[in-house]
Structure 1
Amino acid sequence: CGVMPPACKRHFIQDACLYECSPNLGPWIQQVDSSWRRERILHVPLCQEDCHEWWEDCKDFVTCKEDWHKGWNWATGTNRCPWGSICRPFKEVFPQPKDLCEKIWSHSYRYSRARRGSGRCIQMWFDPARGNPNVAVAKYYAWRRRVASPATWMDDLAPEMGTAASALPGSYLLLLGLQLLLLG
């Protein structure tokens, strides 16, 4: 559908780096039985800002597919749009940032209402000199997976740290923090 603009492409490069190199995606690794891989990530809670910025930087670029994991025409040896498909702007294929984040890679990501720095969502973008915020997020969800029911362990408990978390007693927050440290 054309050459991807650099502002949009940088998000796909960062996405590939996160997927290929992050040691903090363990809570979301699922076994799969496909011809091209044995495991995948599923429903990784991606921070709200990351989804919004990705969508904003790509909304005018065009694509012929909603799900980039499968369905390409590989007849030439490289991925091409399926025969009969039409190239349309991202903002038509993915009307909202949530649609882009959740659909482009077959639900590898889940749009999170949590914001960067909340400790409840994975950040695609962060300054490594200030530490990796995704370490605490992975530990939190690994802990949730052990103590919560399978249906609810991925729920955002505190989408806005300034409101929901402030309702928790301070002793609970202290114990939770200590437990997360001990998990490391």
Structure 2
Amino acid sequence: MGWWWRFLLGLWAVPPTCTGHELLNVCMNAKPHKPEPGPEAELYEECIPWKDNACCTASTSWEAHLDVSLLYNFSLAHCGIMMPDCQRHFLQAICFYQCSPNLGPWIQQVGKGGLGVDPRGQVERVLDAPLCLEDCERWWADCRTSHTCKSNWLGGWAWSRGKPRCPERASCRPFPHHFPTPADLCERIWSGSFRASPERRGSGRCLQKWFEPTRGNPNAEVARHFASPARSWARCPGLLAFLLLLPLLS
């Protein structure tokens, strides 16, 4: 039997869950995500859109809104008071990251694929999740008059009394100094967690970091579009092992 027929037989033997569906309606293996998504009637403020199906708890949603977030032990006001419109975008982004069950196609294991070690000690993280064009543009526009001292907030902070501070000689400057374009803000702020998509809201090809709760979650359709067996290999070790052994069978 030739290698091609062995390949086809191997694919026919792959469990049905290894088709991309296991990337849908899932939570990251990361603190403080729930093991599985489900209803959360008491989510707080900017996290409310996910109340019908969330990877976060009510407690997590409340902690995300504190002046010094208990989730990351981090303050958005590290360079003075952040403007309310700018702060709202960050709270929405945090809720999106913590609560969304639609990030499966972009979940990656930390320590593999060049991701390095996550300073928060997470096993998994999101990489290159495509945010809609309007989300990046509005986020950048509303933060133009706020200040920060770093372009990558995921690490590299100086610590003092258990709190992250701006590194020495890193002066606080308006956001456009660190993020000249909306794409720079979306892609740099959390070390590639998000990618600036050229697609617009409603296209079914990009994710909204916030949406009107009464209109349903548009990101479920986007996750279905991007879910594929190729992206599923990390969650389907049997399929991956077979493909690695394939050359030895020929």
- Do these two structures clear the TM 0.5 threshold for a shared fold by scoring above it? yes
- Higher-Rg member (1/2): 2
* Long gaps (5+) in structure 1: 148-184
CA deviation string 1:148-175 (max 9, x = no partner): xxxxxxxxxxxxxxxxxxxxxxxxxxxx
Q: Which residue of 1 aligns with 2:124?
A: 39
Q: Secondary structure in 2 aligned to 1:30?
A: strand
Q: Which residue of 2 aligns with 1:28?
A: 106
Q: Which residue of 2 aligns with 1:160?
A: none
TM-score (norm 2): 0.57
**1:18 to 2:96 alignment:** yes
Q: 1:125 Cα deviation (Å)?
A: 2.2
Determine the C-alpha separation between the residues in 2 that align with 1:115 and 1:143.
22
Q: Secondary structure in 1 aligned to 2:108?
A: strand
Q: Which residue of 1 aligns with 2:181?
A: 96
**1:131 to 2:216 alignment:** yes
* Long gaps (5+) in structure 2: 1-78, 112-116, 233-250
Map residues 69-108 of structure 1 onto 2, 5 A cutoff.
69-108=154-193
**1:53 to 2:131 alignment:** no
- Runs of 4+ in structure 1 deviating by more than 4 angstroms, as ranges, are 144-147
2:195 paired residue among 100, 107, 110:
110
Determine the C-alpha separation between the residues in 2 that align with 1:13 and 1:73.
23
Structure 2 contact 105–231 (Cα < 8 Å) conserved: no
Determine the C-alpha separation between the residues in 1 that align with 2:100 and 2:190.
17
| Equivalent position amino acid for 1:18 in 2 | F
CA deviation string 1:114-166 (max 9, x = no partner): 0000000000121121111000000110038469xxxxxxxxxxxxxxxxxxx
Moved more, 73-82 or 21-30: 73-82
Q: 1:78 Cα deviation (Å)?
A: 1.1
CA 1:145–1:57 in 2, change beyond 3 Å: closer, same or farther?
Answer: farther
Determine the C-alpha separation between the residues in 1 that align with 2:197 and 2:168.
34
CA deviation string 1:49-106 (max 9, x = no partner): 0000000000111110000000011222111101111111101110000000000000
Q: Secondary structure in 2 aligned to 1:74?
A: strand
Count of aligned pairs: 147
TM-score (norm 1): 0.76
| Equivalent position amino acid for 1:49 in 2 | E
CA 1:133–1:83 in 2, change beyond 3 Å: closer, same or farther?
Answer: same
Q: Secondary structure in 2 aligned to 1:92?
A: helix
1:143 paired residue among 199, 215, 228:
228
Determine the C-alpha separation between the residues in 2 that align with 1:58 and 1:65.
14
